[in-house]
Copies of this chain bind each other. A is one copy, B any other.
Amino acid sequence: MTVQGPVRYAMLGGGLDAFIGGVHRRAAALDGELTLVAGALSRDAQIARDSGAAYGLAPDRTYLSAEALIAGELGRDGDERAELISIVTPNFLHYEQARACLEAGFHVLVEKPMTMTSGEAAELESIARANGLACVVMYNYTGYPMVREARARCAAGEIGTVRKVFVEYHQGWLSAKVEAEGVPQAEWRTDPKRAGLGGALGDIGSHAENLTSFITGLEIESLSADLTSFVPGRALDDDASVLLRFAGGAKGVLTASQICAGEGNGFSIRVYGDKGGLRWRQEQPEALELLSLDEPTREIVRGGPGAGSDAAEGSRIPVGHPEGFIEAFGNIYRGAAELVRAAREARDASSMGQLTPTAVAGRRGVRFIELCVKSAEQDSEWTPWSDAD
């Protein structure tokens, strides 16, 4: 048995005072495939040091800036140096940091949305490709085994030619003006300078766009968007309704809203083809419902009969023992690790790696936000897809 050491990764952001960093660390730790070796965890030096200590980092690898981290790690031996840098800072920092990492030869993993503009995303995509580096974008919901099952079923033609997609992402946590009450998650997400063009659209609508693309493979041909800021004084949208027309004639309805009072994290997708349909809900992620014109609805569950190989690879424990959000997140980290290993071994990535969302998806997601905003500004005019203005 050949035993392979874990992939070494560093983290930008994600100090003890941050939220999403903890999810990343848990997800990365889950399978023992990655090990955290360095970090520039906060712009506050004290928090950065405390966080490094808490996470078990060596003091000399607890850096105080991205630049220092890059320089410090480049100065280490290749078998010790961080291979992958995970960027969990607010949106507006992604581009600059990711570019610096990629240019220095590090693989990167970036939170979504990937950048503030699609032009920046295209640049990152191009640098990563040129340098043979992985540029993973954290579309974590594609890590759910049953999402991968849905994709496989769709690709296998089980529901026929897709006609209609309903994808929705409904939360309630921004129903009141919590950004004025010091909820840090809310603060930067509702600030155009740090979040970008989209509010709910960027934060969760981009997940909805990605999930649709991941499962169906459909390409948006044009879209018509209606964006609203329901909460008085909020600069960005907290509610988005988007009609979609796909190449080939399929259509879709995408809604993203953070003012659905009482909803938790209501992300779901339904896809209908000319033979059948499928339904998946993030809040009960272990099941995929498969509908048919001719047969009873079947419920495929992770680990159960009928679940295919992509689902199995992304699965850790038997049927009925629920895996959840962190496990799905962990599958993106496993995919990133696999891309790093494939690069160091100069081989093609396994399916776990190939299913992992990268800069292509990241750029498309940013472009989706831009085009929705453009359509909304023109009274929901149908706006054709174009990769650049």
Contacts and interface: CB of A to CB of B under 8 A. Distances in A.
A67 to B, nearest CB: 25
A293 interface: yes
A6 interface: yes
A56 to B, nearest CB: 7
Copies of this protein, total: 4
Interface stretch (A68-76, A82-90, A127-135, A277-285): A277-285
A276 interface: yes
Given A241-B253, A320-B263, A325-B317, A50 B293 contact: no
Chain A residues touching B, majority SS: loop
A194 to B, nearest CB: 20
Contacts of A249: 230
B23 A255 contact: no
Nearest to A262: B291
A188 interface: no
Interface in A240-257: 241, 243, 245, 249, 251, 253, 255, 257
A266 B261 CA distance: 23
Contacts of A347: none
Contact residues on A (Cβ < 8 Å of other chain), bracket: 35 or more
Given A274-B175, A293-B172, A324-B323, A318 B265 contact: yes
Nearest to A284: B284
A243 B380 contact: yes
A164 B260 contact: yes
B317 A326 contact: yes
Given A3-B54, A296-B290, A320-B283, A277 B172 contact: yes
A297 interface: yes
B293 A230 contact: no
B55 A32 contact: yes
Interface stretch (A101-109, A298-306, A349-357): A298-306
Given A32-B29, A324-B324, A382-B379, A319 B264 contact: yes
A183 to B, nearest CB: 11
A115 B108 CA distance: 48
A193 interface: no
A316 B326 contact: yes
Contacts of A257: 164, 272
Nearest to A22: B316
A30 interface: yes
A239 B164 contact: yes
Given A292-B305, A324-B324, 7 more contacts: A166-B255, A175-B272, A175-B293, A264-B301, A285-B322, A293-B305, A321-B325
- Closest CB pairs A-B (n = 8): A262-B291, A264-B320, A265-B320, A322-B324, A324-B324, A264-B319, A321-B325, A296-B298
